[in-house]
Amino acid sequence: KLTTYPIHHGSPIPMTPIQLTLKKVAVVGGGAAGLVVARELRREGHKVVVFERGAQSGGTWVYSPEIESDPLGLDPTRKIVHSSLYSSLRTNLPREVMGFGDFPFVASGKTDRDSRRFPGHEEVLRYLEDFANEFELHELIRYQTEVSHVGFETQGKWKVKSRRNAGNDGSEFDETYDAVVVCNGHYTEPRIAEIPGIELWPGRQIHSHNYRISEPYQDQVVVLIGSSASAVDICRDLSRSAKEVHVASRSKPEGSFGKQAGYDNLWLHPMIERAHEDGRVTFQDGNMVLAQVILHCTGYKYHFPFLHNIAAVEVDDNRVGPLYKHVFPPALAPGISFVGLPWKVVPFILCELQSRWIAGTLSGRILLPSEEKMMEDIEAFYSKLNAAGVPKRYTHNIGDHQFDYDDWLAAETGSPPIEEWRKGMYRACSLRRRAQPETYRDEWDDDDWISVAYQDFKQYLS
């Protein structure tokens, strides 16, 4: 146990040294979030066990050609495939922006690696493997071990039950920890569009979670619902094999509907009005197509099937709450915390800052406000969302103020704020992605920011 000074709201409190309390912490999930949580917890001096149900770390970035038995993902007994990656996926952020703060995601220069600025998904997995190797994280991870139960015990202890799923080894563990950090990801449990008449529509429905390659859609007419980054990519990928691709989007302006420039089989429509018994799908502007497939690119739900008897936090219309700054349920803080919930963000750096905050809070080096003050903060945040007409399910969509959020965490943890180049590159990329979805990954005009970033990286690269 070390003696140090506590930090409260970014500034050390002088003259009152404290003893760090080092904890035994369970981390659920070994994706990007779980890895950086493990590093930060260990750096702080905590004892860490990461539970990972897969055979390797990397989470979302572990591509699997396999799809689930229920392609819509509604059957709770289906065999779960964790990752939602499609084969052709390249990152939608430049690699410089994506990387962790002190471990830049630069091209390795090796011939067997993808050196593109927006690399394919395999390169991200290799980067995460490099990260795990560099910080010797594998020794902290129990692979092929799924957490089935997390529950609050008395006196601030947490019960964690888990089961090995390797071969015939179904060993079960029943353990007690001082704290639990939840990093199970939120791109696995599909959210489905509600379509009038769908019960009698005779075609095939699938969620983008189970889309991998275009070939199975050869010569078919597909209606794709959505306008997210995945929808934008998948409709183009599909158009290589499908006979026709019709994208139904809620959020596109009037003038953008119709056949898409550069394609002879890709159309944009307003939302679906109804699906019919004879296979037709009609759109809100009165147009209709005879379709074989409806592909829902409609996002995901937060899902924590292992949380038991924890009334202090629940999922309501995809709001996980109440959570102070998207991380701590005030009634149980800092014993249980959630990493990586915000979306439309740059996730790795955000997870890194959240992890540092959790690590420092658990040791007592960083002080949280009282439970009442945290609840007041949450209520004020919810009221603000409400007044602005933001639906509950967008609570964790912090895209527009993500860097303020990151900088708040940075100040709280005594870390440097987000680099100006990272913010500038992110904004430049967002604009390009909207203006030129086909080419934004290979054509750019932010070379000035690239020079600044690589200058900055020198301090971390030997």
269 lines the binding site for ligand FAD (CB under 6 A): no
CB atoms within 10 A of CB 11: 11
Lateral strand order in the sheet of 293-296: 204-207, 293-296, 221-225, 244-248, 266-269, 258-259
Comparison of 214 and 281: residue with beta carbon closer to ligand FAD: 214
CA neighbours within 13 Å on the CB side: how many for 271? 8
Q: Is 46 near ligand FAD (CB under 6 A)?
A: no
Does residue 207 touch ligand FAD according to CB under 6 A? no
Do residues 60 and 31 make contact, with C-beta atoms less than 8 angstroms apart? yes
Distance of CA 11 to the CA centre of its chain: 30
Residues shown for the chain: 462
Asked if 352 touches ligand FAD (CB under 6 A), the answer is no
The mark string for 366-405 relative to ligand FAD (x by CB under 6 A, - otherwise) is ----------------------------------------
User: In this chain, which of 41, 44, 49, 60 binds ligand FAD, going by CB under 6 A?
Assistant: 60
Site stretch for ligand FAD (CB under 6 A), options 51-59, 132-140, 170-178, 368-376: 51-59
Choose which of 44, 52, 68, 407 interacts with ligand FAD (CB under 6 A). Answer: 52
- Could you say whether residue 419 binds ligand FAD (CB under 6 A)? no
- The DSSP string of 315-338 is EETTEEES-BTTTB-GGGTTTEEE
Residue 340 in the binding site for ligand FAD (CB under 6 A): yes
Give the three-class secondary structure for 70: coil
Figure out which of the listed residues 187, 283, 324, 405 binds ligand FAD, where binding follows CB under 6 A: 187
Do the beta carbons of residue 337 and residue 182 sit within 8 Å? yes
Q: Which residue in 251, 243, 297, 248 sits closest to 274, CA to CA? A: 248
Start-to-end C-alpha separation, the chain: 32
Under the binding rule (CB under 6 A), the answer on residue 63 touching ligand FAD is: no
Both structure tokens of 353: 């800052």
CB atoms closer than 10 angstroms to residue 461: 9
Q: Does 355 bind ligand FAD (CB under 6 A)?
A: no
CA-only gyration radius of the chain, Å: 23
Q: Does 93 bind ligand FAD (CB under 6 A)?
A: yes
Tell whether residue 31 is a contact of ligand FAD (CB under 6 A).
yes
Output the smallest distance, CB 50 to ligand FAD, in A: 8
Nearer to ligand FAD, 145 or 260 (CB): 145
Give the one residue of 25, 26, 29, 275 binding ligand FAD; rule: CB under 6 A.
29
Here the tokens at position 292 are 């074989």
Tell me which residue has tokens 């910080």: 135
| Position among 147, 349, 362, 453 found at the interface with ligand FAD (CB under 6 A) | 147
- Which residue from 49, 59, 336, 362 is in contact with ligand FAD, where contact means CB under 6 A? 59
**336 and 159 Cβ atoms separated by less than 8 Å:** no
Question: Binding residue for ligand FAD (CB under 6 A) from 210, 227, 230, 337?
Answer: 230
What are the residues binding ligand FAD (CB under 6 A)? 28-34, 51-54, 59-61, 82, 84-85, 91-93, 98, 146-147, 183-185, 187, 230, 306, 340, 347-348
